[in-house]
Structure formats: C-alpha cells, structure tokens
Amino acid sequence: MEASYRIRTVHPEDLNQVARIEELCFPAAEAASKESFRQRIETFPESFLVAETEEGIIGFINGCVTNGRTIEDEMFSQMSFHVPDGAYQAVFGLDVLPEYRCQGIAGALMRRLIEVARARGRKGLILTCKEKLIPYYERFGYKNSGVSRSVHGGAVWYDMILEFEDFAV
C-alpha cells in the first residue's frame, strides 16, 4: 500500500528523525552526523525538504547553495560553503526509509527541490552519486560529468549536473 505523505520544509524539531533516517540509509563512513544536520537545518532550511506521513518523517533531501559546479567534500561539514544567492543548488543526500522505497517518494522530493531551485533563480542543481545511481538521476535531467574528486566515505562518486537551459519541462 502506498503511503500518503506531504512534502514540506524542515523544522528544527525534525533533527532526531532526520538523523535516524540517515543512519538507516547510509553506511557509517558516508552518513552525516546529527550535529551536521543541526547545522544544515539552521543554515539552509529553505533547501532541506522532508516527506512525512501522519506517523512521521519518511524521507528527505537537502543541500547547500553554491557557485561551484561540483560538490567538494568540505561542503558536507562546513556551512561556510553555503552561498544563499549562489548559482547551483547542491544535493547532499536523498534519503527514504527502506519500507517506503519504490513508491515515488524520492522522485517527488527531487522534483520539488528542482522546482524550488528554479523558482529561486538557480542555474541548476549538482550532486554526487555512485555509479549504479547515474541512470536514476539522468531521468531528472542530470548529466554525468565523470568521476568526482570527492572521496567522501572512501567511495567512488560521480559528479552530476542538471542545467536548467538543458532541462526539458
């Protein structure tokens, strides 16, 4: 049965649920810390969206805004990289609880963040992903820019960019 959910901007009181979901969705070496999420919620709540049911948060998407066209590892932990009027919306993470996957929730979160970025006049969005997820993000209009310089969590990442002038609505 598909979940009935809504997407909204994160609130400070969502911190514990968001941190718990991250722990379930990412290996420890790649997962953001609770303190990192606290800083993200304080620094860029407008680009931190959650999906929630009556039972609570089931997924989220978040990332700072930057003028760079790629994500640097330091961006995950240093809020000074956030440029409120920057050109690109970064995506640091797209998490959905395992029991709610394959219901379109991640896609809905991504589409909403794309809408928010476009409405705020961004040039596009950037993210890094593992090779197996490249086709997933290409469905939203992202293009693979090759292996990233990121070594976050010891994994191999690929830089992806969605440029609005290339994006068919």
CATH classification of the domain holding 120: 3.40.630.30
CA–CA distance, 140 with 113 (Å, rounded to integer): 11
For residue 64, give its domain range: 6-128
Residue 143 falls inside a structural domain: no
Query: Tokens standing for 33?
Result: 């810390």
pLDDT higher for 53 or 165?
53
pLDDT at 169: 46
* 51 phi, psi to nearest 5 deg: -105, 130
Domain count for the chain, please give it: 1
Note whether residue 16 is domain-resident: yes
86 inside domain: yes
Is the per-residue pLDDT at 160 higher than 90? yes
Q: How far is CA 164 from CA 1, 4, 26, 105, 114, in A?
A: 35, 30, 29, 22, 9
pLDDT on residue 2? 67
Helix (H/G/I), strand (E/B), else coil: 124: strand
Look over the chain and give the mean of its residue pLDDT values, rounded to a whole number. 93
Q: What percent of the chain has pLDDT over 90?
A: 81
Considering only residues 72 and 21, tell me which one the structure prediction assigns the higher pLDDT. 21
- Establish if 49 belongs to a structural domain: yes
In a domain, 103, yes or no: yes
Assigned domain for 146 exists: no
The answer to the question of residue 65 being in a domain is: yes
Q: What is the DSSP letter of 166?
A: G
Q: Does the pTM of the predicted model rise above 0.85? A: yes
Q: Is there a domain that residue 133 lies in?
A: no
